[in-house]
Amino acid sequence: MYLQDMDDDAREALVESLVAEALEGFDGVVSAAQLEVIRATLQEELLFSEEGRRLVRQLMPDPVVGASGDVIREPGEPARKEKASGEQ
């Protein structure tokens, strides 16, 4: 699954949360204008850089699977297990 395939709202909420946590306590250290520049830079890096997208992807919760699909077999074909490599 790629970052662009994830729910946009969930991805943006996670990025906002990460940036807010990273900037906690900086209110009195830098000006409001500087804080906004830092916030925008961090958000841009998390959303658009390769490393940032990788980090966000790792931190996203696993998707919830409602059901597993069945493999359709021809009538009379025996059930068999295959290795991940495709070998039998």
> In angstroms, rounded to a whole number, what is the distance separating the alpha carbons of residues 73 and 79?
8
**What's this model's pTM, rounded to 2 decimal places?**
0.63
- pLDDT of amino acid 54: 92
What's the Cα-to-Cα distance from 24 to each of 16, 17, 74, 85, rounded to whole Å?
Answer: 12, 11, 60, 47
Q: Give the model confidence (pLDDT) of 7-53 as tens digits.
A: 778 889 999 999 999 999 998 899 999 999 999 999 999 999 999 99
Please name the residues in contact with 36: beta carbons below 8 A apart, sequence gap of 6 or more.
none
C-alpha–C-alpha distance, residues 28 and 34, integer Å: 11
